[in-house]
Amino acid sequence: MKKILFWIIVMLFIISPVGILILQSFTSPGSWTEFSLYGWRGLFETARLLEATGTSLIIGFFVTVINIAVGMSAGKALALYTFQGKTAVDTLFVMPLLVPILAITFGVHIAMIRIGLADTALGVILIHLVPTAPYSIRIFRNGYVSLGRRMQEQAETLGASAGRTFFDIELPLLKPSVQSVIFLTFVISLSQYVITSIIGGGTVVTLAMVYFPFLDSADTTLIAAFSIWFAVLPLLFYITAGAAFRLLPYPRKSGRRELF
Amino acid sequence: MKLSARIKPWLLLTPALLFLLLPLYGLWSAFRLSVYPDGKLTGQVYVRLFSHSDFLLSFLYSLWVAAASTFLSLLIGWFFTRAFVPMLERTGGRLTVWLPMVFPHFVWAYLVLLLFQEGGLVSGLLPGNRAYANDPEGIGIILTYMGKEIPFVILMLLPVYLTRNRLYDDLTETLGGSWFSKIRDAELPFVTPVLIETGIIIFAFTFGAYEVPALVGATFPEMLSILTFDWFYSGDWSERPLAFAAMVFLTTVIGVISLLLFHFINKMRRNITEGL
């Protein structure tokens, strides 16, 4: 009974809205039944779209890499060490989520112009760190808390170097945290319109920058395809990142039990 | 050895602390530009800001939209989570519920437009045939935020319900506690800190975010973010300091509210670990 109620609610408020977008993107304009690739063809024929997709992927990639580095190191410090001022540091790391992003972006803008970062992809990457890094620090902190110290201590006792401990123990065991960070960071980076437009100054054209003016057109089929594209990209990015993770030289011989 | 153990955490924290310089500098710079608009220290900008009727209206309007979005998202997200823990324990159920989080806020805003604007797919079915997008009450904005934030609330709350000690449920039941006292005594102490923290994040975000009101907001009244964005890009630069001042004021309001609530959470956490 409860299960039915659950799926009714999910169907009504999540699946059908998304379903409408998918349906609209695959039917001809004005019709709900006639299959057509008009929307998707139109989308990929928009020259700016492919370019913007590339820009978004590059920016998202660097934002994600920096997030993993920053989040992993800070998460480890917060989870496994006690030190003076820990509570203060902890609170400071939540702060970027509580300050309106426009306050930060307005303030940073002039400095970015002065040092030549305004209107560049690097400037956009830096400003995208603000709404993402606090989450990454948190996710890695929780990851390291549940990992604990013992595994690493064991490796150290057995004489492993810091690098060996990291690649053979921490990284594989933190895989779920890494995956969450990759996914969340990329989705958030892709969603930034106003800060990208201020810092990128219209020169750095990400997908969000193309989508916004697109909404003024009345072509609902095209917009539907574009909207779905926003969900497809993070999934593609995530799958690619997962494949890259598999390239890491961890023992996967048959007969040996895998950790995950 | 001793020294390196003391330095190690700070070495690990260095990248994150370097990152923090960016938001801290931004905030400080916005503050500086609001009190030194022409190179001289003055409170003139704030006097102008508070006597601006557009600002006061926008501020109150944003407060209403943010408070309503936060409250409804927390309430519905919480009751949904506690009612459907078994379904959310399964990967399929969980991922479906989290699906809206994959879409940017502005895509969800477009969906609300599509469904609720004049002549939209749902608005025609509603009594009175009225539109709930671009409406002066801000219902369209609130609906968009609920669609995006309820899954976020579930994401934050679910771990609490999965790891919570269920013996407290049995305890209240054995002692003859009602449905209400079960929530109050066995759940609320564990859920409240997470609810408040999640609430602060949602409140701060919805109070100052630009994308959603830009798409589903009304032309009047305007959310604060829209008003300040216009000031920031106004042609003659004379209104730019107002944009800085408005954002500094908004930050202060959110800061004070968060401090009070964090203080409350810490007190509660102490009560749980030491008191019960």
Q: What is the pTM of this model?
A: 0.92
Split at pLDDT 50, 70, 90, the class of A172 is confident
In a domain, A98, yes or no: yes
Q: Does residue A9 fall inside a structural domain?
A: no
CATH code: domain of residue A216: 1.10.3720.10
Fold of B50-275: MetI-like fold (1.10.3720)
With 60 as the cut, is the pLDDT of residue A255 above it? no
- pLDDT at A257 (0 to 100): 47
Per-residue pLDDT tens listing for chain B (276 residues): 456 778 889 999 999 999 999 999 999 999 999 999 888 899 999 999 999 999 999 999 999 999 999 999 999 999 999 999 999 999 999 999 999 999 999 999 999 999 998 878 888 787 777 788 888 999 999 999 999 999 999 999 999 999 887 788 888 888 888 888 888 888 888 899 999 999 999 999 999 999 999 999 998 899 999 999 999 998 778 899 999 999 999 999 999 999 999 888 888 877 776 654
Q: Residue A258: what pLDDT?
A: 46
- What 3-state DSSP class applies to A217? coil
On whether residue A166 sits in a domain, the answer given is: yes
Chain B residues 28-47 within an 8 A CB cutoff of chain A: 28-31, 33
* A103 in any annotated domain: yes
B27 touches chain A (CB under 8 A): yes
Tell me what the mean pLDDT of segment A159-171 comes to: 85
For chain B, the three-class secondary structure string (H helix, E strand, C coil) is: CHHHHHHHHHHHHHHHHHHHHHHHHHHHHHHHHHHCCCCCCCCHHHHHHHCCHHHHHHHHHHHHHHHHHHHHHHHHHHHHHHHCHHHHHCHHHHHHHHHHHHCCHHHHHHHHHHHHCCCCCCCCCCHHHCCCCCCCCCHHHHHHHHHHHHHHHHHHHHHHHHHCCCHHHHHHHHCCCCHHHHHHHHHHHHHHHHHHHHHHHHHHHHHHCCHHHHHHCCCCCCCHHHHHHHHHCCCCCCCHHHHHHHHHHHHHHHHHHHHHHHHHHHHHHHHHHHHC
CB A67 within 8 A of CB A134: no
Enclosing domain of residue A199: 56-246
Q: Is residue A254 very low, low, confident or very high in pLDDT (cuts 50, 70, 90)?
A: very low
Strongest mean pLDDT among A80-89, A200-209, B232-241: A200-209
Which chain B positions have a beta carbon within 8 Å of A108's beta carbon? 22, 25-26, 29
CB-based contact (8 Å) between A65 and chain B?
A: no
**Among A residues 70-89, those touching chain B with beta carbons less than 8 Å apart:** 70-71, 73-74, 76-78, 81, 83, 89
Count of domains for chain A: 1
**Residues with Cβ within 8 Å of residue A38, at least 6 apart in sequence:** A28, A29, A221, A222
pLDDT of res. B242: 95
Look at A127 and B22 and tell me if their CB atoms are within 8 Å. yes
Q: Is B210 on the interface with A (CB under 8 A)?
A: yes
With contacts defined as CB-CB under 8 Å, which chain A residues touch B101?
187
Indicate whether A255 belongs to any domain. no
Residue A3 at interface with chain B, using a CB cutoff of 8 Å? yes
Asked whether residue A27 is assigned to any structural domain, the reply reads no
Listed by number, the residues of chain B in 178-197 with a beta carbon closer than 8 Å to a beta carbon of chain A are none
Query: Does residue A160 belong to any structural domain of this protein?
Result: yes
Q: Taking CB atoms and an 8 Å limit, are B105 and A191 in contact across chains? A: yes
Dihedral-angle region of residue A206 (phi above 0 means left; psi in -120 to 50 means alpha; beta otherwise): beta
Residue A35: strand, helix, or coil: strand
| pLDDT band, very low/low/confident/very high, at A256 (cuts 50, 70, 90) | very low
What one-letter code names the amino acid at A160?
Answer: A
A204, pLDDT greater than 70:
yes
Per the structure block, which two tokens stand in for B261? Answer: 């609530």
